Chains A and B, each alone.
Chain A
Amino acid sequence: MNVVKELGDDDGGVAHGALLARLCDAVAGKDTEVMANVREQVLRDMGPDQLVDAVGVSAMFHMMNRVANATGTPLDPIMLKAGPAIAASIGADTFFSADDTPG
């Protein structure tokens, strides 16, 4: 879960995982130079289709995260048992939204 919790060289067992994690941070940020550098690396190492689709997935989660955080969306029953362990492993138990996400 390190690749989710912090940036580094660890792919977390996922092809190009570390690069995709950096892409997520660049999409969320406002630094156009950082975004350009990551974009070029994804193009070089993965290809144009993967760049478009990966940016699309990350952008889609920006929508979902706003919907969930803004409406107090509660955890689904399927997550109630596994949720605490997963949250702790990626550091999500420290999020503001952890206090206000009914479980």
Chain B
Amino acid sequence: MYTSKLPIRQEIQDTHAAAAAHWASPGTWWSADQRAAIVDEVRKAWDAEPLPPWQTPSSTPGLVDPHHRLPIAAIDVIWRLTNHVTTLTKKWYESYVPSQLSPQQYVEIVGVVAQVTLTDRFADALELERVQLPEARPGEPSREQPADAEVVAHWVPTAPIVDGSWNPATPSDVPNVRKALSLVAAERIMQWVLIDAHYVQGGALADDFGSNHWSLERAQIELLGTRTSAVNECFY
């Protein structure tokens, strides 16, 4: 994985490698080839000359290969998620879902884009080579559907989750961001594997504001999270 003089913790090395293997594997609604193409497109979008948010790559000459492995709508969504996270609205979401992408396809894209953004912002900031994907694994998407998924409070459908790590007394009452990708369980699980390696493990969130985690004080961790969320204009 990463080669550096910096002391990169084993949890970070292991989870970034696991994420790369996950992206190169058949997903729930996209094939391994298509998921690798999502990763490529996130990197292409980030490294490109910036476009204004209303300008899609598909409407910009020369940016999208006409024989791309992904539908045009998926590419446009990936670029917007990657470069314009401050501008996402329900109206924008509804311009793609369900007319051009199914909610399941959209949620899987969100999961992969978000995970790649984590690993790439980490690598770029520390002057590391970005995580390379292993060869794409053969196989079909699982098309696994959670029971009882429906639109409740998020834009996207979500499924009930039982997770006692947040509060053992009320295991069905989990933070809404934990439910956000529940329509595609594999992405929700990968998201939480990454969270636990970089932030505060789920069960310790609410009750240990005086503790240190890794080499940082909890107050420093929360400042980093709040400032980053402010830069990304994340109201949640």
Q: Do A and B come from one complex?
A: yes
Residues of A within 8 A of B (CB): 3-5, 12-17, 20-21, 23-28, 30, 35-36, 39, 47-76, 87, 90-92, 95-102
With A27-B228, A70-B93 given, can you name 7 additional A-B contacts, CB distance below 8 Å? A17-B220, A28-B231, A61-B234, A63-B117, A66-B110, A73-B236, A87-B235
Q: Given A39, A67, A87, which contacts B125 in the complex, CB threshold below 8 Å? A: A39
B184-236 residues at the A interface, CB under 8 angstroms: 191, 194-195, 197-199, 214-217, 219-221, 223-236
Residue B75 CB within 8 A of the other chain: no
Q: Is the CB of B232 within 8 A of A28?
A: yes
Of all chain A residues, which has the CB nearest B197?
A: A56
**4 closest cross-chain pairs (CB), A and B:** A72-B155, A49-B215, A60-B198, A61-B228
| Stretch from B7-15, B26-34, B55-63, B135-143 that touches the partner | B7-15
By the criterion CB–CB under 8 Å, are A60 and B126 in contact?
no
Which of A3, A4, A21, A53: most chain B CB closer than 10 A?
A53
Contact between chains at B121 and A66 (CB < 8 Å): no
B64 contacts the other chain (CB 8 A): no
User: Min CB distance, A50 to chain B, in Å?
Assistant: 5
Q: Known contacts A14-B219, A53-B216, A63-B118; is A68 also within 8 Å of B81 by CB?
A: no
Residues of A within 8 A of B224 (CB): 20, 23-24, 54, 57-58, 61
Residue numbers in B under 8 Å from A99 (CB-CB): 89
Please, how many angstroms separate the alpha-carbon atoms of A50 and B107 in the complex? 33
A38 — nearest CB in chain B belongs to which residue?
Answer: B125
Residue B65, interface by CB 8 Å: no
Alpha-carbon separation in the docked complex, A72 to B233 (Å): 13
Write out the residue numbers on chain A whose beta carbons fall within 8 Å of the beta carbon of B194: 60, 63
Cβ of A65 to closest chain B Cβ, rounded Å: 4
A-B contact pairs, 10 of them (CB 8 A): A20-B227, A27-B228, A56-B214, A59-B198, A60-B195, A60-B199, A61-B232, A68-B236, A100-B155, A101-B236
Q: Name the B residues within 8 Å of A92 (CB-CB).
A: 230, 233, 235
Cβ of B148 under 8 Å from chain A: no
Known: A50-B216, A53-B214. A97 touches B88 (CB 8 A): yes
- Asked whether B154 is an interface residue with its Cβ less than 8 Å from the other chain, the reply is yes
Q: Is B235 in contact with A14, judged by CB distance below 8 angstroms?
A: no
Q: Is the CB of B228 within 8 A of A72?
A: no
Check if B114 is an interface residue, CB within 8 A of chain A: yes
Nearest neighbor of B151 in chain A, beta-carbon distance: A72
List the A residue with the shortest CB-CB distance to B103.
Answer: A71
Do B232 and A65 touch (CB < 8 A)? yes
Q: In B162-179, which residues have CB < 8 Å from any A CB?
A: 175-177, 179
Cα(A30)–Cα(B235), bound, Å: 23
Q: Please indicate which of the listed interface residues B85, B89, B113, B224 has the most CB atoms of chain A within 10 Å of its own CB.
A: B224
- How far in angstroms is the closest Cβ of chain A from B74? 13
